[in-house]
Chain A
């Protein structure tokens, strides 16, 4: 690999990490298309690289969230059972699919993620928990509630979990998506935990982040076993994504503007269209 290609990889990783961190998407959703479209990396190798980028960024961020008590460790471990199972299945299914089928799936997921971003305000409304008499509430579910101190609001937030089976099902689907496509899966888990399971937005995002490293591990080990990890591509991408996501975390509070968000959504749709085109025309196999 030439030095210029390496520099391009690191720079792409920085951009993917920075943008992913600014818009709460994780680096994978951008890293995979950059690797496939710009650097002609085979899809399966790109997914494997992206999974390792997910482990690196998730572990670094989860350390902060766990220290601050925002990540709900007990809920995270409970849902991890399902994300890991999904990720394992996803990585096995990915091994059976040709690269272009995986690209088409990735482009479809990317388009679906871009649509809510293109809307005016991605505000999430929390549904009230289902009415249950005190003793009818599952005992285990009661123990998953938690509390943390919200620095921005300057008060303690405490919450209980509702609709746990729904959270488990969605976690399984998020794991499947992660194992198949190399993304974190937070895009599925965070809205469901917030809207249906009574988990505050910050706790949902932190808990999802806490989980995705383990989810990505379950599938990356399968890709590793199949010999689909390219050392130079992975090393340069991980280095770039870690630098980019750290920079993104520093400036994310300072950047506002739904116009930027919508512009990025349009960019995602354009990239997805390119992926569709290349996969359908047989340029990517």
Chain B
């Protein structure tokens, strides 16, 4: 389990560091090229990445927010795989349950 613990910890840390950096870059870009305020709405990930790479401040922030939201999800996925690998089936099933609930909330939220 120690390798998984390291992987979990690394995932959580890097998720926060990368999204934190993207949010700062987005804020700086916004002050270089101000845009009228708007709210984040679900959009096509490919076009989001493309406009973030073009330097659109809101897209960079949007990408940072999505990455931040993905961080705990990645942690659940890593632990689910580990529980299956170590044949701790009760915990593997529980982890699948958590993942399904997260998918359900995403479906409810995004529909």
Chain A residues within 8 Å of B, Cβ to Cβ:
1, 3, 6, 45, 52, 55-56, 58-60, 62-64, 66-67, 69, 73-74, 77-78, 80-81, 84-85, 87-88, 91-92, 140, 143, 213-214, 216-232, 234-236, 238-239, 242
On whether the beta carbons of A92 and B108 are closer than 8 Å, the reply is yes
Pairwise interchain contact B31-A3, C-beta atoms closer than 8 A: yes
> Residue of B at shortest CB range from A242?
B20
Instruction: List residues of chain B with CB under 8 Å of any chain A CB.
Output: 5-6, 8-10, 12-13, 15-16, 19-20, 23-24, 26-27, 30-31, 37-42, 58, 61-62, 64-65, 68-69, 71-73, 75-76, 79, 83, 88, 90-91, 94-95, 97-98, 101-102, 104-106, 108-111
Q: Contacts A60-B12, A74-B88, A230-B39 given; 11 further ones with Cβ under 8 A? A: A59-B16, A66-B12, A77-B91, A84-B102, A85-B101, A140-B90, A221-B69, A222-B105, A225-B106, A235-B61, A235-B64
Cα-based distance from A74 to B80 in the complex (angstroms)? 11
9 A-B contacts (beta carbon < 8 Å): A59-B75, A63-B9, A63-B16, A77-B76, A88-B104, A221-B69, A224-B65, A230-B40, A232-B30
A81 cross-chain contacts in B, Cβ below 8 A: 94, 97-98, 101
Which residue in chain B gives the minimum CB-CB distance to A222? B109
Most buried by A among B24, B40, B83, B111: B40
- Residues of A close to B97: CB separation below 8 A: 81
Residue of A nearest to B40 (CB): A229
Docked pose: A117 CA to B62 CA in angstroms? 37
B71→A84 contact, CB < 8 A: no
Nearest-neighbour CB distance to chain B for A58, whole angstroms, equals: 8
Is B102 within 8 A of A59, CB to CB? no
Whether B16 lies near A60 (C-beta < 8 A) is yes
Give complex CA distance A78, B109 in Å: 24
CB distance from A46 to the nearest CB of B (A): 13
Number of A-B pairs whose CB atoms are under 8 Å? 165
Chain B residues with Cβ under 8 A from A64's Cβ? 9
Assembly CA distance A253 to B76 (angstroms)? 31
Q: Which residue from A84, A216, A238 sits with its C-beta under 8 Å from B20?
A: A238
Residue among A45, A60, A235 with the most chain B CB within 10 A?
A235
Q: Known contacts being A59-B72, A232-B27, A239-B27, is A218 close to B12, with CB within 8 Å?
A: no
What is the CB-to-nearest-CB distance from B45 to chain A, in angstroms, rounded to a whole number?
13
| Contacting residues, chain A, for B72 (C-beta < 8 A) | 55, 58-59, 213-214, 216-217
B73 to chain A minimum Cβ distance, whole angstroms, is: 6
A236 to B72, CA, bound (A): 21
Choose among B23, B42, B88, B101 the residue that contacts A218 (Cβ–Cβ < 8 A).
B101
Chain B residues with CB below 8 A from A229, complex form: 39-40, 65
B94 to A78, Cβ gap below 8 A? yes
Cα(A207)–Cα(B62), bound, Å: 29
Q: A-B pairs with the 6 shortest C-beta distances?
A: A225-B109, A213-B72, A222-B109, A63-B12, A235-B23, A231-B61
A228 to B65, CA, bound (A): 13
Taken together as a complex, chains A and B put the C-alpha atoms of A87 and B91 apart, in Å, by 21
